[in-house]
Structure 1
Amino acid sequence: MFLLMHATHNAPASLRLGIASLAAIGLGAVASAPAYAHDTLIDSNPQADQVLEEPPHEVVLEFSGDGLTTGDSITNDILVLDSDEENWASEEPAEIDGSTMRTDIPEPLPNGEYEVRYRVVYSDGHDEELGFNFEVDAPLAEGEEDAALAEPRDADATEEAADSTETAEATPTETTDDSADAPDSNAEDASGQWGGPLLWAALAVALAGVAVVAWFAVRRRNRGSTKS
Structure 2
Amino acid sequence: MKFRNRITRLAAVPLASACVVLASPVALAHDSVIGGSVTSGEVLQEFPREITLEFSGIPQEGYNTFAVTDTDTEEVLFDAEPDITGRDLTIEVPEDVNPGPGNYQVGFRITSSDGHSTMGSVPFSVAGAQGATVPTETSNSEAGSSSGSTAELSGGLKTVISIGAILAALAVIIMLVAKMRGTNKKG
In terms of fraction of residues, the more strand-rich structure is 2
Q: Does 1 or 2 have the higher relative contact order (CA < 8 Å, sep 6+)?
A: 2
TM-score scaled by length of structure 2: 0.49
Q: Which has the larger radius of gyration?
A: 1
In terms of fraction of residues, the more helix-rich structure is 1
